[in-house]
Amino acid sequence: MAWLVVRLAISVSLLYTASAVFEDQVGKFDWRQQFIGKVRFALFDTHSQASKKLLVATDKNVFASLNSRTGDLFWRHVDKIGPEGHIDALLMYGQDAVVVTGNGRLLRSWETTVGGLKWETVLDTGSFQAAALVGVQDFVKYVAVLKKSAISLHDLSSGSQIWVENLPDSDTVQYQTIYSGGNGLVFVFGVVPNSHIVIVEYKIEDGEIMRKKSVEAAWMSSLESSCTVISSGILLCVDQITQSLYTLQLQSAEQTEIRQIHLQTLDLEVASGFQPVLTSTQPNPAQPPLSEFFLQLSPDHHILLQLKDGLIAPLRDFNPSYLAAFATSGERTVAAVMSPKNDTACSINLFSADTGRRHLDTTIIYHMDPNGGKPNRLYVHAFLKKDDSVGYRVMVQTEDLTLTFLQQPGRVVWVREEALADVVTMEMVDLPFTGTQAELEGEFGKKAAIQDGLLPMVLKRLSSQFILLQAWLAHLWKLFYDARKPRSSVKNEVTIDTLSRDEFNLQKMMVMVTASGKLFGIDSKSGTILWKQYLENIQPDSVFKLIVQRTTAHFPHPPQCTLLIKNKDTGLGNLYVFNPIFGKKSQISVPALPRPVLQTLLLPVIDQDYAKVLLLIDDQYKVTAFPSTKNVLQQLQDTASSIFFYLVDSSQGKLSGFRLRKDLSTELIWEVVIPTEVQKIVAIKGKRANEHVHSQGRVMGDRSVLYKYLNPNLLAVITESTDTHQERSFVGIFLIDGVTGRIVHEAVQRKARGPVHFVHSENWMVYVYWNSKFRRNEFSVLELFEGAELYNSTVFSSLDRPHPPQVLQQSYIFPAPISTLEATLTEKGITSRHLLVGLPSGNILSLPKMFLDPRRPEVVSEQSREENLIPYAPEMPIREEWFINYNQTVSRIRGIHTAPSGLESTCLVVAYGLDIYQTRVFPSKQFDVLKDDYDYVLISSVLFGLFFATMISKRLAEVKLLNRAWR
């Protein structure tokens, strides 16, 4: 019987928490965007004219096929993170794409239409140098892979290895490139820096060395960047120091001297400090390359040259020009060159490669985004039109990782913002009211209104009511107008002008900061990018911190966000202040930060413009306030003795607390030192500032109350042992009061290892670790209670809480690895909490906090049943219907951001990684919203029915009374 009750309790509790998306709700309030990252290789499928495929390989180890008409993904393969999945080379021939991954570890061939793997070969060890397709008699049959000390040839249709040969003298010669011109030979080029070039010739059939020669080249340091093969087997090199071009006939036995051609004889000069770049083209791997090539002399100077009869002659000089690329369609090869037109636009023109003549009517105007970066790569897709002229489309990649696809005469076909593949941090900001609402708000907000007197106020009120009426009528008219049109043509395009807060504040502005230094403002409802801003000169490994200083609630003051950009090595930072709704940079003067910033602190203190005060603490423990008006400084002086902050030095294991002095200097007040010989601090987290806790305690089964220990200054510090032996390793958990430095609780999870993910909220903390003894992931929950009595129920002060809290803890097995962890957040904190667990599979699990409750009883009792506690089970369940993103998986999920909405039941969730996914979750179901299928007709008909029934019965009763009176 008891068992039955247990099961009943479990099933009832599950019934309560189980919530999944219905089929018709898919995509209703959620969206996903998939990204690929910075493109390293891009190849257009020129196999057939109608092909729309664009193959890309990126720095995020993604290999994908894009639809070149729409920019959507056909398919995408996400490989392992780091060097193991690094894509070294991408080659394409016909329907096959050959990819070398993991520093030459794997050779794979993909079918390009559906993205299926055709074959895969594991290559011999050795660091990858180059790969090339090899053709025999106009037919590409092989792929050659050059490693540091060996070369191997593989069959293109099956991947089987034809032969592998060790390279001669590979310990002294650096072999770097490979070339085949379809004449049955494979050339391998190596260099001994500042000495000579080595050329080894292999026979394709059996890998026999046909010839090996070395040529003196004292000026040569690296082949890869400065040499190329042109024409029928001529090695062409360029050198900046000697200002010369060098040519070498590959196949002639007699020429063992490299020929030098001074650039001066061609009236050319390489810009000082610029490494000149040679670009040649080999349209068909089974045939020798063309004799035309580009030479880039400076960042904005290209020249098209031709080698004819052993002489180099310029065909066309492109000065100025940013980018140049070759493209081939059928038998015709063209060159596309991007030149600046004016300050905001570039023009791209097409030239025939063999003559350098410009093709008529081929100009594409590329408008540069004033908030974007400069273009840095150009990919050209050439095709033959019906009249046999060459048409083309281009894809431009810019510094801020925007891919723009253009066609003639400059129409932007699609744009992809690949910077969003690497979101670092984000915030969600409320949208402003509409203009009329703001008008109404603003009128009473102004201080002048107080002096206006009664009559002007009444008039103002009437006029604003009139404006509201006008807006409502306009809205009605629009509704009526739209209703007549077919439904499909009514589009609710979100633009920056139509942005306004909805009734329940469900639509917000997502401000996203990406690693490349590009900021985005995205509408959370539709995922439309409303503004973007590229910050130039951002160091690649900068640390970003985004702070909302002023929300939208203070009309007419615009909302204000501040981004602290900190250099990881020097610690020097600078501030970027902007309006999060429109993305515009604020005109406010920003304090200069000459010293490394150690800590930032957002105070609840506001200045007269309603901006919260941000304190920046530098390495000399001096404090800079922003904004630093007189008003703010006065307020800071008044409250200085109650402003505390902490610093962490994980290299010394030192945590220290400081107090602000009136002159904005600081004094050290506490110090905790965790010896680094034993354990090192890996993470530290406080509580979220915008978190609300609704109930002070928990009602127990016997109707007494267990009060929560709600310390807003509590810090959770996680340490990991330096000893990584599986028996001796441990994870340490310190709960430290950030004001007094008091260690509230200290626990050790033995035989445990990181990475530790944790959430710290309300009176609890949940962490996940790896149990190295049982080899599994485990969840542990800590809850802190004051006990049956509150020490001081009116106010919490860290300085006056002498009794240590009661700490309860319980652990559970979690049957899956974890990528990230976050907790839901709602407006008032009434709704029960859920944990959002990002899994490496890309799913997001919404786990009720109810399952992570240290008071879950071993043995069920009457009281625990009263309290609705689930009996303890060591394993945490994972139920498919708890995946909030059903099949919309988020690749490489790195972070989850939660934000409250205007509805208490609803929490907005954004998960980011390689993809971005936005949805809403309802941890306690939608208790404050009527359901979609709510029966208004039934309810109103019943109401009306009852109303009429009472009316009639009243009448009847009156008649009856009258009749009785007559009797």
Applying CB under 8 A, which residues contact other proteins? Answer: 2-3, 641, 667-675, 677-679, 721, 723, 728, 730, 732-733, 736, 740-743, 745-750, 771, 778, 780, 792, 799-802, 807, 809-813, 858-859, 872-875
Cβ-based neighbours of 643, under 8 Å, separated by 6 or more: 601, 603, 615, 636, 659, 660
556 preceded by a cis bond (ω within 30 of 0)? yes
Q: How far is the CB of 776 from other proteins (least distance, A)?
A: 9
Least CB distance from residue 807 to other proteins, whole Å? 8
Do residues 843 and 883 touch, judged by C-beta distance below 8 A?
yes
Indicate the Cα dihedral angle 210, 216, 218, 219, nearest 10°: -70
* Beta carbon of residue 867, minimum distance to other proteins (angstroms, whole number): 20
> Is the CB of 440 or the CB of 648 nearer to other proteins?
648
- Least spacing, CB of residue 788 vs other proteins, in Å: 18
CB 765 within 8 A of CB 781: yes
Terminal CA-CA length for the chain: 68
- DSSP-assigned beta bridge partners for residue 631: none
CB of 805 to other proteins, least distance (A): 13
Q: Minimal CA–CA distance to 645: which of 547, 517, 737, 523?
A: 737
Toward other proteins, which CB reaches closer, 174 or 780? 780
Which residue, 91 or 870, is less far from other proteins as judged by CB? 870
Least distance from other proteins to the Cβ atom of residue 675, Å: 4
Q: Find the shortest distance in angstroms from Cβ 738 to other proteins.
A: 13
Q: How far is the CB of 669 from other proteins (least distance, A)?
A: 5
CB closer to other proteins, 253 vs 859:
859
**Per-position DSSP letters for 642-667, written without gaps between them:** G-EEEEEETTTTEEEEEEE-TTS-EE
What are residue 351's DSSP bridge partners?
A: 335, 358
Q: Are 696 and 785 in contact (CB under 8 A)?
A: no
Report the residue number, 534 or 734, with the smaller CB distance to other proteins.
734
Q: How far is the CB of 740 from other proteins (least distance, A)?
A: 7
Closest CB to other proteins among 732 and 848?
Answer: 732
Backbone phi, psi, residue 877, to 5° = -80, 150
| 235 within 8 A of 245, measured Cβ to Cβ | no
236, 228 in Cβ contact below 8 A?
yes
Q: What is the dihedral of CA 521, 527, 529, 531, to 10 degrees?
A: -30
Q: Least separation, in Å, of the C-beta of 569 and other proteins? A: 24
Task: Output 593 or 759, the one with its CB closest to other proteins.
Answer: 759
Q: Which lies closer to other proteins via its Cβ, residue 200 or residue 736?
A: 736
How far apart CA 65 and CA 36 sit, in angstroms, is 10
Candidates 235, 203, 200, 48; CA nearest to 136 is 203
Shortest distance, CB of residue 637 to other proteins, whole angstroms? 15
Instruction: Say how many CA atoms lie within 13 Å of 198 toward its Cβ.
Output: 18
Cis peptide leading into 755, omega within 30 of 0?
Answer: yes
Q: Closest CB to other proteins among 517 and 741? A: 741
Six-digit token string for 718: 């996680």
Per-residue three-class SS string for 699-768: ECCCCCEEEECCCCCEEEEEEEECCCCCCCCEEEEEEEECCCCCEEEEEEEECEEEEEEEEEECCEEEEE
Name which of 81 and 678 has its Cβ closer to other proteins. 678
Q: How far is the CB of 798 from other proteins (least distance, A)?
A: 10
Q: Report the alpha-carbon distance of residue 897 to residue 811 in Å, rounded.
A: 25
The smaller minimum CB distance to other proteins, of residues 13 and 809, is found at 809
Report which residue type is found at 901: S
**429 versus 716: smaller Cβ distance to other proteins:** 716
Q: Which is nearer to other proteins, 118 or 776 (CB)?
A: 776
List, edge to edge, every strand of the sheet that includes 654-660. 644-649, 654-660, 666-673
User: Considering the complex, what minimum distance in angstroms separates the CB of residue 812 from other proteins?
Assistant: 5
Torsion from C-alpha of 406, 407, 412, 418, nearest 10 degrees: -30
Q: Distance between CA atoms of 617 and 627, rounded to whole angstroms?
A: 14
